[in-house]
Amino acid sequence: MRSERKDFFILFTASWCGYCAALKRELEAASADFGLYEMDISDEANPAWNEYEIQVVPTALFFKAGKEQSRRAASFSGLRVRDIKALSSAP
């Protein structure tokens, strides 16, 4: 994935995931310092599942200087904006 910004998030979502839509709205409001891109991978045949090794949606990946630095996937307790923002400060 190429981006005009050096530091950015990719949020992998699915059209059938209501939680994904709510999380995207929250993240858009909280990500002024970073680019935010959404990739809808509703179709199980979408190559992004394998290319980015996505297991569940939503999954957020943080890229710094164009390279993946960290990721966070939804879990039983859910994925929160604070969890995603913490990705950008991970070493």
**Structural domains in the chain (count):** 1
Per-residue confidence (pLDDT) for residue 75, from 0 to 100:
58
Mean pLDDT in consecutive groups of 10 residues from the start of the chain, 91 residues: 70 89 78 83 92 91 88 67 68 60
Note whether residue 5 is domain-resident. Answer: no
In a domain, 17, yes or no: no
Per-residue model confidence (pLDDT) at position 80: 66
Give the pLDDT of residue 21.
83
CA 81/CA 70 separation, integer angstroms? 15
Tell me, what's the pLDDT at 36? 85
Residue 71 located in a structural domain: yes
Backbone φ and ψ of 42, nearest 5°: -60, -40
Residue 39 covered by a domain: yes
pTM of the model: 0.75
Task: Find the domain containing 65 and state its range.
Answer: 24-87
Q: Is residue 61, in this structure, part of any structural domain at all?
A: yes
Confirm whether 3 is domain-assigned. no
